């Protein structure tokens, strides 16, 4: 019996040691090379509005900075979009360029007729020309239904602190 446990212990210890060394090496690789960039995540809705035509902006609300040099300044806008060909609404965030160089995480939601679609886009770079991100669209039974959009922008926006700014509108 002691022979069996002596033989089993080194195997268990060897497996645990191998797992620990592998985890340490993997962590070191991430630290040295940087983690892989996160990917956008969409949920709900009826698809990407990129295939929709006859689009228009139904309503827009500015998103203002809250700290440092951007306090009170419009850093982007939240839009409620509509397409006649897809017969649906979606949310779009437009980030203005040239105001800061740090990546921004954009989270947004569109809700109408008891349905919801959302998008999560991490580490967007605005650059000098700005950028935009959007949610999936929600196909509506009634084009006159009220739709609400909401967005949160998270970054340090060129300040010393990471913080979130956002906006909401319903039409």
Please state, in angstroms and rounded to a whole number, the distance separating the CA atoms of residues 23 and 145.
52
What pLDDT does residue 100 have? Answer: 87
What pLDDT does residue 31 have? Answer: 36
**SS3 label, residue 42:** strand
The dihedral region occupied by 170, where left means phi > 0, alpha psi between -120 and 50, and beta the remainder, is beta
Q: Can you name the residues that pair with 79 across neighbouring β-strands?
A: 60, 92
How does DSSP classify residue 166? E
Helix or strand run (H / E) with residue 20:
helix 2-33
Are 23 and 102 contacting, i.e. CB atoms less than 8 angstroms apart?
Answer: no
Q: How many CB atoms lie within 10 A of CB 113?
A: 14
Are 122 and 38 contacting, i.e. CB atoms less than 8 angstroms apart?
Answer: yes
What pLDDT does residue 101 have? Answer: 87
Predicted confidence pLDDT, tens digits, the chain (171 residues):
444 333 333 344 445 444 444 444 444 433 333 444 456 799 999 999 999 999 999 999 999 999 999 999 999 999 999 999 999 999 999 999 999 889 999 999 999 999 999 999 999 999 899 999 999 999 999 999 999 999 999 999 988 889 999 999 999
pLDDT digits (tens, 9 = 90+) for 15-60: 544 444 444 444 443 333 344 445 679 999 999 999 999 999 999 9
What pLDDT does residue 70 have? Answer: 93
Q: Torsions phi, psi of 32, nearest 5?
A: -75, -40
Please state, in angstroms and rounded to a whole number, the distance separating the CA atoms of residues 155 and 158.
8
**SS3 label, residue 143:** coil
What pLDDT does residue 29 have? Answer: 35
């Amino acid at each position: 019996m002691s022979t069996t446990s002596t033989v089993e212990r080194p195997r268990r210890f060897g497996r645990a040691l191998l797992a620990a060394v592998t985890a340490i090496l993997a962590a070191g690789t991430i630290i040295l090379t940087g983690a892989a960039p996160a990917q956008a995540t969409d949920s709900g809705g009826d698809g990407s509005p990129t295939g929709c035509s006859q689009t228009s902006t139904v309503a827009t609300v500015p998103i203002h900075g809250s700290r440092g040099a951007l306090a009170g300044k419009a850093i982007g806008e939240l839009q409620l979009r509509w397409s006649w060909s897809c017969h649906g609404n979606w949310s779009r965030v437009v980030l203005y360029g040239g105001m800061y160089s740090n990546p921004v995480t954009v989270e947004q939601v569109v809700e109408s007729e008891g349905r919801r679609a959302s998008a999560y886009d991490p580490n967007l770079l605005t650059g000098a020309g700005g950028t935009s991100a959007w949610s999936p669209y929600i196909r509506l039974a009634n084009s006159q239904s009220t739709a609400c959009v909401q967005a949160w922008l998270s970054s340090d926006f060129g300040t010393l602190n990471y913080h979130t700014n956002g906006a909401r509108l319903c039409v």
